[in-house]
Structure 1
Amino acid sequence: MTARPWVRVVVVTMNEGPLLARCLAHLCAQSDPGFEAVVVANGSDPAVLDPALPDDARVRVLRLPDNIGFAAANNRGADFGPDDTPPFLALLNPDAFPAPDWLAELRAAAGRHPEAAAFASLQRDAADPSVCDGLGDEMAPVGLVWRGGIWEPVPPLGTLVEGECFAACAAAALYRRAAWDAVGGFDGDFFCYLDDTDLSFRLRLRGGTVVFVPSAAVLHVGSATTGLDSDFVRYHTARNRLWLLAKDMPGPLLGLVTPGVVLVVALLLVRAARRGRLAVEARGVRDGIAGLPTAWRRRRAIQAARTVPWWRVAAALTWDPRRFARRAARRGRVRRP
């Protein structure tokens, strides 16, 4: 154990029980022991939470009486305890199980990329580790976001390339604490979903890049609490997409992509109607539109603090719609054997 931990790992949980126990067991078995952990019990039942907690002095618990959302709970965990916080902050979902060298590999990558504000992990499907759960998150200009390479076979060892992605999936990510503090962490109004994309976008606007680290691997169950493509997921994604674009997209790009955003929203509503889920998608769009004045007020401060030209943001986005259709990873992510 180092005298002062180099990283704080925040794990937000809401009654995951056995999954949380497995996550924390993997965390406590890291080859790099220089971490402290904060488990944020986000309205969790103590009878479910307490048996999952390890007997490890590095792990502290912040008990919240109510579920305040993934975004706000991570902010609370990041700020929990003394002001002398470590220079790095890692986020880990309770359904993500890191490899023994996960933290060590992220730490090494942070040394190789001093310009980067955030680092994304290689995510494998926990049910079938040969299947990819994400090679860093990517974003289309119209607000469609995906985990690169999801559902495809994990590329062979040695073919994955360390390098830039658009955003870090907060299921298993590392952030420089100074960069996190500069942008204020997550936007708590998002509650959950696309909050990590919004954070990475704001970090980019301040000049920070996001780097995918293939040697930092986790197994990820995915949507273990909220359900895969549930109404909860669809509502928050439909709502938060509008806030993400309104807040973060630089002016020249926002004017360019707005017609495409309107078209995408319409197409998603049509798809939802065909699947019998129009009500939840429409409610998300309605509440997203209702929240646009607040998002626009925040936009003023975000864009005033922007230090990079709009074309650098444009270059980081994925403009080819075929790549979204395939949920493709960023070009150059995989090197041919």
Structure 2
Amino acid sequence: MTARPWVRVVVVTLNEGPLLARCLAALCAQTDPGFEAVVVANGSDPAALAAALPDDARIHVVRLPDNIGYSRANTVGATHDTGAPPAPFVALLNPDAFPDPDWLAALRAASRRHPRVTAFASLLSDAADPTQCDGLGDEMMPLALAWRGGQGRPLPPSHRLVEGPCFSACAAAALYRRAAWDAARGFPDAFFCYCDDTDLAYRLRLRGGAVVCVPTARVAHVGSATNGIDSDFIRYHTSRNRIWLFVRCTPGPLFWPLLPGFAGLVLLLLGRAAWRGRLAVDARGVRDGLRALPAVWRQRRVIQRARMVPWWTIAGVLTWDPRRRLARAPAPGRVRPP
């Protein structure tokens, strides 16, 4: 291990067992050895955790007695004292994400090519079917509807994939400059999980930051391995946190004109949930999101005071065409035409 690792990789786990073991094995096999890793055991079973840990001095473990949430646990991992000087980069890697051997090397090279970019997104493929894309950087509409670009579509061949801007980096496999992470204070603890990576990217952009997708940084991703696909847990937190994301981060000149449309979107999503027999959990998320608005509005004031770019710069990186959301399209230019 180098005297000062260039990156700290944070892995937050909650009883993922064999998935965590596979994730850490892939991390330890990186061609770039200049990293340290902090595994934050979010209330995990001690025996299952011990069985998944490799014998590698670069791996540090923080054992938490209870599940404090994915958002806060990442902050714990990023700030944990390992005895080494703080690494200038922070990477996040989910326990159900398995990086290719040159994942870190590709991200490190990209950080040198883009010295002013604050965050980097990986190419996510479907772990069950490597020919399917799971994400080419995250995109977002002005009404706080976010998606992973290209998710569920055939993964284009490597020669058609282009490195370039996206709105946000999916936290399943992302890299951040530590100075930017610290200035923005990482993920918002209150979110617990979901939408927290989009909220961070939004705040980085308000401060003048940018995000680039690096298609050579490849990671196979299971997705929702802990909480289940479209589970009540995910639906609740997404419904609640979407409200907080919109209120906290949208600049004033965009916020007030978009507010009626956002309210209409919330009602539309509740109507769709009712049609699918899932109204109760979505309505609870919206209720709790609205109840917390006084505190969220105070957070908004702090976030907006830190804004360093004009509102039209933010408007320019949002996706205004709803057809791109329906198609889960990546950012324009990320894929060359055949």
1:12 partner letter? V
Q: Distance in 2 between matches of 1:56 and 1:263?
A: 52
Report the equivalent of 1:230.
231
* Cα deviation 1:260-292 (Å, max 9, x = unaligned): 111111111011001110000000000000111
State TM-score, norm by structure 2.
0.99
* Cα deviation 1:97-142 (Å, max 9, x = unaligned): 0000000000000001111110000000000010000000000001
The residue matched to 1:329 in structure 2 has which SS? coil
Superposition pairs of residues 1-337 of structure 1, within 5 angstroms:
1-81=1-81, 82=83, 84-337=85-338
Q: Is the 8 A contact 2:14 2:42 kept in 1?
A: yes
Q: Distance in 2 between matches of 1:8 and 1:95?
A: 18
Q: Distance in 2 between matches of 1:56 and 1:328?
A: 39
Q: Distance in 2 between matches of 1:40 and 1:323?
A: 36
CA drift of 1:172 comes to 0.1
CA drift of 1:336 comes to 1.8
Q: Distance in 2 between matches of 1:139 and 1:243?
A: 15
Q: Is the 8 A contact 2:11 2:40 kept in 1?
A: yes
2:219 partner letter? V
CA drift of 1:84 comes to 2.4
* Cα deviation 1:175-207 (Å, max 9, x = unaligned): 000000001111000000000000000000111
Q: Distance in 2 between matches of 1:106 and 1:322?
A: 31
Q: Is the 8 A contact 2:3 2:84 kept in 1?
A: no
2:231 partner letter? S
Q: Distance in 2 between matches of 1:264 and 1:93?
A: 30
Q: Distance in 1 between matches of 2:195 and 2:134?
A: 16
Q: Distance in 2 between matches of 1:235 and 1:40?
A: 24
Misfit runs of 4+, over 6 Å: none
CA drift of 1:47 comes to 1.4
1:275 partner letter? R
* Cα deviation 1:124-169 (Å, max 9, x = unaligned): 0000010000000000001101000000000111111101000000
Q: Distance in 2 between matches of 1:217 and 1:314?
A: 29
Q: Distance in 2 between matches of 1:2 and 1:335?
A: 38
CA drift of 1:3 comes to 2.2
* Cα deviation 1:21-55 (Å, max 9, x = unaligned): 00000000000000000000000010111100000
1:295 partner letter? V
CA drift of 1:83 comes to 7.5
Q: Distance in 1 between matches of 2:158 and 2:315?
A: 31
State TM-score, norm by structure 1.
0.99
CA drift of 1:7 comes to 0.2
The residue matched to 1:61 in structure 2 has which SS? strand
2:283 partner letter? A
* Cα deviation 1:198-248 (Å, max 9, x = unaligned): 000000011110000000000000000000110000000000001001110
Q: Distance in 1 between matches of 2:216 and 2:104?
A: 10
2:180 partner letter? A
1:35 partner letter? F
Q: Distance in 1 between matches of 2:9 and 2:53?
A: 14
* Cα deviation 1:309-333 (Å, max 9, x = unaligned): 0000000000000110111111111
Q: Distance in 2 between matches of 1:157 and 1:87?
A: 29
The residue matched to 1:11 in structure 2 has which SS? strand
In structure 2, list runs of 5 or more residues that go unmatched: none
2:61 partner letter? V
Q: Is the 8 A contact 2:4 2:85 kept in 1?
A: no
Q: Is the 8 A contact 2:38 2:62 kept in 1?
A: yes
In structure 1, list runs of 5 or more residues that go unmatched: none
CA drift of 1:69 comes to 0.3
Single out whichever of 260-269 and 22-31 deviates more from structure 2.
260-269
